[in-house]
Structure 1
């Protein structure tokens, strides 16, 4: 038996954290707890009782929502379909923008002088909410679905580019080195060594963002960027809560179907 080796049949001790690791955990999670307690007043959680103090209004609202009116169901379905198309085109454009950005932002593929500015652009696109981008495009090109498509495309491009770059940075170097050993160029290394490894994961990310964008496109309709959101906003302003309930049901059914389709496609790819 060598020095430090355990006798046969001995159960090893479970791994233990050092005092420094425990202290860091306490500092981090304790800080989160203190921040939550400190921000109770700032986020107005103390007035949560208003939900019950105005119970009559809540009951009236709930009663109306419980009786959806599908008289205009054709309009609701048409606008929901428009919302799905906005999300689809926004995601499609974003993927084509995110692929080169993701490769250019990966430290194991792109040179250092290129990584920093590309990551800066990615952070800029991700940091601006799609509602703000949508408002800018509404001013630029007018009301309709086009501002929604462009807003989703820009915001999603930043998100997907980051995810794509992280996927590239975690690849196995073996296939890339194999292509390099055969005399392949840098482009060949990307096409034959990188893309086959990350393509399924990239597709999964894109499908997930399409699901998310289907919901985001609904919200963009509130600022006049097309889709079912505009109908929802109009019915809310008219206090027509029965129509609001019907619109919400249409949105939930559509998003659920998109989610089921996306899951089925991911299972075939991963």
Structure 2
């Protein structure tokens, strides 16, 4: 009886890596270290001391940044609000595009002849930077927030479609099979078996992308796609670093508020 009890509570031996696994780890991490060392000159990392070298321009820049000028605060806030609206509409349209693309790219509910081209489209949308897409739309529709909305829509649609499809591929098959057993069609399987399982994750992904797009919309303003980025760019070109400091503070406050609101919405919805 004692032998049986001691056998039942015996602590299993710790897992051991094989020699082949150790060699693979050394090759992978050693390769990463080698690439980092090799690329020091390529990225000019050896001259990082310039960042801390004292010069008049740097001192003037830091001095003005510490003295923000809020004389045009109403305009800064209005432009920041425009930036938020660009991000909001871009994210909303991206979700509308991302849902069908995500479902079509999921291997467990779509045939391979649909999945493959849809994944190519998703890769294309994700691989082209939103700044490049923004420049194309600025050329097509002119300067203004519309170009920013369209750029964020396409880039974010590719990202969300990938995340949505991965969420669909990880669902429990039980509810889908239960709906199928009732004789329901493919659309009913998706509506009643798939969407209830992925809705919380999809909501979380969309909220996160909205937070990210609020920052991306600021950068898009640098190419004339609307929002506070254009004001920031103009202030930088005019060497008005006090205004730059005020704009940065407005952006930080806005992004912080958006992050807080997003967390509240996530807790309420999830």
Instruction: Using structure 2 for the length normalisation, give the TM-score.
Output: 0.96
Structure 1 position 72 matched with structure 2 position 72: yes
Q: Residue 198 of structure 1 aligns with which residue?
A: 198
Q: Residue 48 of structure 1 aligns with which residue?
A: 48
Q: Residue 95 of structure 1 aligns with which residue?
A: 95
How big is the shift at 1:267?
1.9
Q: Residue 10 of structure 2 aligns with which residue?
A: 10
Question: Residues 239-258 of structure 1 correspond to what in structure 2 (within 5 A)?
Answer: 239-258=239-258
What number of residue pairs does the alignment pair up?
Answer: 267
Look up the SS of the partner of 1:49 in the other structure: helix
Q: Residue 219 of structure 2 aligns with which residue?
A: 219
Q: 1:55 to 1:16 in 2, by over 3 A?
A: farther
Structure 1 position 22 matched with structure 2 position 22: yes
Question: Which sections of structure 2, spanning at least 5 residues, go unmatched?
Answer: none
Question: Which sections of structure 1, spanning at least 5 residues, go unmatched?
Answer: none
How big is the shift at 1:36?
0.7
Q: Distance in 1 between matches of 2:54 and 2:90?
A: 41
Structure 1 position 262 matched with structure 2 position 262: yes
Q: Residue 168 of structure 2 aligns with which residue?
A: 168
How big is the shift at 1:269?
2.8
Q: Residue 107 of structure 1 aligns with which residue?
A: 107
Q: Deviations over 1:66-113 (max 9, x none)?
A: 000000000000000000000000000000000000000000000111
How big is the shift at 1:60?
1.8
Q: Distance in 2 between matches of 1:111 and 1:100?
A: 14
How big is the shift at 1:6?
7.3
How big is the shift at 1:62?
0.9
Q: Residue 186 of structure 2 aligns with which residue?
A: 186
How big is the shift at 1:58?
2.1
Q: Distance in 2 between matches of 1:241 and 1:268?
A: 40
Q: Distance in 2 between matches of 1:243 and 1:17?
A: 58
Q: 1:143 to 1:179 in 2, by over 3 A?
A: same
Q: Distance in 2 between matches of 1:152 and 1:204?
A: 18
Asked if the contact 1:102–1:161 (Cα under 8 Å) also holds between the matched residues in 2, the reply is yes
Q: Residue 158 of structure 1 aligns with which residue?
A: 158
Q: 1:188 to 1:21 in 2, by over 3 A?
A: same
How big is the shift at 1:56?
3.5
Look up the SS of the partner of 1:42 in the other structure: coil
Q: Distance in 2 between matches of 1:131 and 1:216?
A: 9
How big is the shift at 1:54?
3.6
CA RMSD of aligned residues (A): 1.3
Asked if the contact 1:6–1:12 (Cα under 8 Å) also holds between the matched residues in 2, the reply is no
Q: Distance in 2 between matches of 1:79 and 1:23?
A: 55
Asked if the contact 1:148–1:225 (Cα under 8 Å) also holds between the matched residues in 2, the reply is yes
How big is the shift at 1:27?
1.5
Q: Distance in 2 between matches of 1:151 and 1:250?
A: 23
